[in-house]
């Protein structure tokens, strides 16, 4: 671990220079800062309070991102006055700070840092650590119950359940929350364990940097010796074959050592067409659970939790929460956004929160709110649009006249309902989970290729058919 930290310190300046640009790095960091480790925290040593306050306010996030990229996990960063730098700068003339200001770029709208008093003694100021979301804060409902239970099992019995665990679904439904909850739970239960949490983009950037600097051995050591690997948004690796291959080898090493691997993706691995077959195969070898849009009961629970979580929020009447849960049908972020908008509107208008105020404040949001679509709706409208008899999609006919509309129904059901592949397959004549997955993948391919289908005597663009059916579903 000490060797890795030493390598990170050695390469941190170069990485930071690339991120913020050489002129800014030379101005604020070169020969003016030193990097060191204090247990698991990266300490940026600075010469005086002026540098401490300005660098902390301006570059804290940049240093944190670069350090996290280098270590392969989130890193706490703090700025403190280094005694040696402090003494060196005291020997310079009093115009040192002014010289720095003269060289600072004047950008439109930029804020120039104020001159600060020279401290009489070094002092330490710790950066506020990031608060990771926890599993106990996750609002559980039918749309995410199994995914949450699987995440909980990783924390309670790491390495004993299905490996890997794949969480997939649309944005804003809690995949990252579960991933952070696993991270926080594992760190709490195994303080000495090395838990690596990062995005697939971070993994890619660090891999590319390791290749450029000839430090692949250190890169691989950091990941392949981890006690658990948690990767968010793995679909970012699509088309990046070299990175996929590197990730695959890391993946195999951890699986062989029976160490947990958890990833999130925006779709089922079978639908990730730009993945290497070997990577898809590994992902399919574990547990795969989806997170869907919350249904009314879960939306109400989410709104209650969000409205009570912040101490700055005023009490939200239950009638308002029920109204919002019934009217809004978006993801978790949209629900939280509606609460923020309503609270802000009430504050600026100095009016109490009520259902009437909610109607006024969220009029635009409510106007575009989409109604809940059921599997029966999809089946009925697909059949009516394509001129099929009622119940035809549930029959055993295998001809294109029936199989292609059935595939369209699976795709639209996955897009517009919270139903799982198994539920959709059962609804459409008792078809299997894998049949439903293959059907959705087929339709996605048609749409990407702008393909046309022959249905009876008609040849129709798939895109036109889907848009027509969606207009009927959502009207």
Say if 157 falls within a structural domain.
Answer: yes
Burial class (CB in 10 A: 0-12, 13-18, 19+), 276: middle
Closest CA to 294 of 92, 138, 85, 421: 138
Same domain, 278 and 177: yes
CA distance 243 to 209: 12
- 118 or 393: whose pLDDT is higher? 393
177 and 255 both lie in a single domain: yes
Least confidently predicted of 3-12, 50-59, 237-246, 456-465: 3-12
Residue 296, CA distances (Å) to 321, 357, 392, 419 in order: 11, 21, 31, 14
The 10s digit of each residue's pLDDT in 149-168 is: 999 999 988 878 889 999 98
Instruction: Give the tens place of pLDDT for each residue, 182-192.
Output: 999 998 877 78
CA 157 to chain centre: 24
Q: Which residue has the tokens 């679904």?
A: 169
Q: Please report, for residues 313, 342, 376, 465, 472, the alpha-carbon distance to residue 383 in angstroms, rounded to integers and kept in the order given.
A: 48, 41, 11, 12, 12
Residue 229 near residue 223, CB atoms below 8 Å: yes
Burial 365-396, CB ≥16 within 10 A → b, else e: beeeeeeebbbebbbbbbbebbebeeebbbee
Among 273, 290, 307, where does a domain finish? Answer: 290
Give the N- to C-terminal CA distance of the chain in Å, as an integer.
59
Buried b / exposed e along 279-317 (16+ C-beta atoms within 10 A): bbebbeebbbbbbbbbeeebbbbbbbebbeeeeeeeebb
Neighbours of 109 (CB within 10 A): 4
Which of helix, strand or coil describes residue 90? Answer: helix
**H or E stretch covering 346:** helix 332-349
- For residues 48 and 160, state if they share a domain: no
Residue 430 vs residues 423, 425, 427, 434: alpha-carbon distances, Å: 9, 6, 6, 12
- CATH number for 452: 1.10.1750.10
Last residue of a domain, one of 125, 154, 181: 125
Which residue do the tokens 């949450």 mark? 148
pTM for this prediction: 0.55
**9 pLDDT above the threshold of 60:** yes
188 with 86, same domain? no
> How many Å apart are CA 389 and CA 179, to the nearest integer?
45
Whether residue 137 is predicted with pLDDT greater than 90 in this model: the reply is no
Give the DSSP per-residue string, 349-407. Answer: HT----HHHHHHHTHHHHHTPPPPPPHHHHHHHHHHHTTPPTTGGGS---SHHHHHHHH
Q: What is residue 130's DSSP assignment?
A: P
pLDDT at position 333 over 70: yes
pLDDT of residue 172: 84
| 188-213: average pLDDT | 88
Q: In 10 A of CB 236, how many CB atoms?
A: 18
DSSP 322: H
Burial of 229 (0-12, 13-18, 19+ CB in 10 A): buried
Give the range of the structural domain holding residue 219, as residue numbers without chain letter.
135-290
Pairing of strands 287-290, 261-265: unpaired
Residues 282 and 301 in one domain: no
- What's the number of domains the chain is made of? 4
Mention every residue, 6+ apart, whose C-beta is less than 8 A from residue 35. 9, 12, 13, 42, 43, 44, 45
328 pLDDT exceeds 50? Answer: yes
* Residues 242 and 302 reside in one and the same domain: no
The answer on 284 and 140 residing in a single domain is yes
Residue identified by tokens 């207009």 is 471
Residues 6+ apart with CB under 8 A from 450: 461, 462, 463
Place of tokens 């990252």: 176
Does 139 share its domain with 246? Answer: yes
**Does 120 score more than 60 pLDDT?**
no
Task: Please indicate, yes or no, whether residues 105 and 250 belong to a single structural domain of this protein.
Answer: no
Ramachandran category for residue 169: left, alpha or beta (phi over 0 → left; psi -120 to 50 → alpha): left
Strand pairing report for 34-38 and 76-81: unpaired
97 and 201 in a common domain: no
Half-sphere exposure of 184 (CA within 13 A, CB side): 16
Mean residue pLDDT of the chain comes to 81
| Percent of the chain at pLDDT exceeding 90 | 23
Q: For residue 242, what is the enclosing H or E element?
A: helix 241-256
Judge if 252 and 201 occupy the same domain.
Answer: yes
Are residues 283 and 311 part of one domain?
Answer: no
Dump the DSSP string for 252-317: HHHHHTT--EEEEESS-GGG-TTS-HHHHHHHHTSEEEE--PPPHHHHHHHHHHHHHH-TTSPPPP
- State which of 333, 367, 401 marks the end of a domain: 367
- CATH code (residue 82): 3.30.300.180
pLDDT in tens, 208-235: 998 888 888 889 999 999 999 999 999 9
Distances (CA, A) of 249 to 69, 219, 323, 427: 19, 13, 50, 40
Residue 130 lies in a domain: no
Q: What is the pLDDT of residues 280-326, one digit of tens each?
A: 889 989 899 988 888 888 888 888 888 876 544 556 888 999 988 88
Rounded Cα–Cα distance for residues 60 and 76 (Å): 10
Token pair in block for residue 412: 């639209």
Here the tokens at position 450 are 């702008």
CA distances from 275 to 239, 240, 244 (A): 7, 8, 8
């Amino acid at each position: 671990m000490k060797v890795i930290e030493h390598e990170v310190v050695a390469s941190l300046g170069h990485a930071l220079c690339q991120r913020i640009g050489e002129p800014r790095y030379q101005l604020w960091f070169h020969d003016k800062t030193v990097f060191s480790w204090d247990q698991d925290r990266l300490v940026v040593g600075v010469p005086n309070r002026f540098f401490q306050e300005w660098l902390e306010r301006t570059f804290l996030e940049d240093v944190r991102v670069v350090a996290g990229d280098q270590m392969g996990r989130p890193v706490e960063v703090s700025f403190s006055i280094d005694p040696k730098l402090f003494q060196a700068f005291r020997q310079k003339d009093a115009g040192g700070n002014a010289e720095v200001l003269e060289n600072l770029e004047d950008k439109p709208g930029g804020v120039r840092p104020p001159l600060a008093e020279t401290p009489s003694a070094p002092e330490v100021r710790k950066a506020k650590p990031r608060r990771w979301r926890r599993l106990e804060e996750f609002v559980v409902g039918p749309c995410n119950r199994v995914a949450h239970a699987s995440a909980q099992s990783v924390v309670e019995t790491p390495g004993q359940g299905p490996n890997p665990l794949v969480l997939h679904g649309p944005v804003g439904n809690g995949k990252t929350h579960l991933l952070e909850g696993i991270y926080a739970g594992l760190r709490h239960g195994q303080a000495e364990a090395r838990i690596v949490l990062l995005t697939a983009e971070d993994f890619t950037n660090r891999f590319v940097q390791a290749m450029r600097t000839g430090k692949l051995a250190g890169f691989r050591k950091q990941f392949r010796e981890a006690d658990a690997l948690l990767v968010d948004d793995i679909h970012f690796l699509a088309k990046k074959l070299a990175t996929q291959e590197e990730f695959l080898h890391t993946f195999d090493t951890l699986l062989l050592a029976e160490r947990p691997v958890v990833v999130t993706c925006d779709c089922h691995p079978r639908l990730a067409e730009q993945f290497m077959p070997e990577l898809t195969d590994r992902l399919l070898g574990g547990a795969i659970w989806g997170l869907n849009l919350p249904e009314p009961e879960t939306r109400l629970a989410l709104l209650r939790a969000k409205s009570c979580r912040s101490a700055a929020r005023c009490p939200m009447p239950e009638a308002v929460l029920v109204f919002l849960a019934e009217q809004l049908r978006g993801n978790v972020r949209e629900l939280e956004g509606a609460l923020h908008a309503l609270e802000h509107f009430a504050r600026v208008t100095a009016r109490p929160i009520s259902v009437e105020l909610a109607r006024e404040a969220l009029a635009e949001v409510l106007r575009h709110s989409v109604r809940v679509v059921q599997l029966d709706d999809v089946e009925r409208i697909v059949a009516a649009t394509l001129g099929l008899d009622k119940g035809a999609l549930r029959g055993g006919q295998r001809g294109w006249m029936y199989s292609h509309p059935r595939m369209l129904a699976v795709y639209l059901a996955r897009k517009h309902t919270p139903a799982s592949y198994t539920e959709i397959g059962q609804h459409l004549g008792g078809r299997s989970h894998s049949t439903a997955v293959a059907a959705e993948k087929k339709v996605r391919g048609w749409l990407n290729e702008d393909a046309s289908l022959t249905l009876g005597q008609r040849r129709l663009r798939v895109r036109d058919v889907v848009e027509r059916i969606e207009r009927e579903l959502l009207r």
